[in-house]
Structure 1
């Protein structure tokens, strides 16, 4: 399930660097069995979640979701000089690029593909109908909305970004809560729970920022 999302060169470079770092960190956490156990594989492979697990499904879908949040943040960073909005965009770029790298790193260590033919969010026990126009999952902006953000400047760009990111975070937090509740690995449960807290906090912050700009989500 590869998203048709246009990415800036800085995002690609940053994402690649984060993925390499995440792979290194995940590799350090792998505990290999002793030779006396007679196993020829790693403990990580033996305990790896299945391809249809909540863990693998969440890691794939949330990686796609995060990729768009990072892209939108790069866009607004270059469309406004507002310090508060640029700071928020910078925080989202760093946080979600790092989390995306961790999830892709776990998929790599588990020996699971980073894309799947399964419908989006099937791991949650239900499927969703994409909005179309590039929006693959709930909360994701359409290509038309992204183009409008690219064309906007100043206060208009700020309001568009805050509205799009609020919708993005609300859907992302719902996905993350589902994974925090039922994922099989501690890594995914902990990461997902942290996402819920972080995104709910940013939703409240963005509500205040929209109000300051005479708008609402």
Structure 2
């Protein structure tokens, strides 16, 4: 190859390298990023999803610990509650994953406590009593470990009565949480989900109360 040929070849190679470099630099500007952007949720939405996830998980645990030999009507209600809350657990987990948030709340119920404090300030109802402060420090409606153990050990009518009492209290707690989220959020999928939970759990509380009155 002549000297001129070498020069032309080298020039072409340099031009190709330059074009590759320019193309790599411009690619982020002209090519869409295939990775989806994280779902943007407010602190209240994330806190509600995290805490309702924990709340729902205990409802599944109570249904699992119910004696399999109880009345078929109560067994069917427990299964219905379990199916509904398992579906909602999947929804809550999906939101948290898309928002790149933890599944466990490092500050449980902080979002709801803020709502209560704000409500108290706005209505000038005065400072909370020590009993109120103690209650607000825990997730509403949750069963203790001793109560869960008692449910697992109970059989027959005792198991039916204890399950209905614990689940009704649990649902009342879930309703408190959903009401707090619904008050704080102006719109969006989390607010709508809170409303749906209010509706579903209110109807189930009615059935739980009816069954308790017959036991």
Give the TM-score of the pair, scaled to structure 2.
0.71
Q: State the partner residue of 1:179.
A: 181
Deviations 1:12-39 (A, max 9, x none): xxxxxxxxxxxxxxxxxxxxxxx98987
Q: State the partner residue of 1:111.
A: 100
Pick the aligned partner of 1:155 from 147, 152, 157.
157
User: Structure 1 pair 116/151, CA: closer, same or farther in 2 (3 Å)?
Assistant: same
User: Structure 1 pair 198/170, CA: closer, same or farther in 2 (3 Å)?
Assistant: same
Q: Is residue 2:74 matched to residue 1:72?
A: no
Q: How many positions carry a matched residue from both structures?
A: 171
Larger radius of gyration: 2
Q: State the partner residue of 1:16.
A: none
Q: How does 1:46-125 map to 2 (within 5 A)?
A: 48-50=40-42, 53-76=43-66, 78-118=67-107, 120-124=108-112, 125=114
Q: Partners in 1 of 2:159 and 2:37 — Cα distance?
A: 45
Q: Partners in 2 of 1:37 and 1:154 — Cα distance?
A: 67
- In the TM superposition, residue 202 of structure 1 has moved relative to its aligned partner by 0.9
Deviations 1:129-177 (A, max 9, x none): 4799xxx511000000011111110110000000001110001011011
Q: Partners in 1 of 2:30 and 2:209 — Cα distance?
A: 55
Q: Partners in 2 of 1:131 and 1:146 — Cα distance?
A: 21
* Consecutive unaligned residues in structure 1, runs of 5 or more: 1-34
Pick the aligned partner of 1:189 from 191, 198, 212.
191
- In the TM superposition, residue 109 of structure 1 has moved relative to its aligned partner by 0.4
Give the TM-score of the pair, scaled to structure 1.
0.71
User: Structure 1 pair 129/103, CA: closer, same or farther in 2 (3 Å)?
Assistant: farther
User: Structure 1 pair 37/107, CA: closer, same or farther in 2 (3 Å)?
Assistant: farther
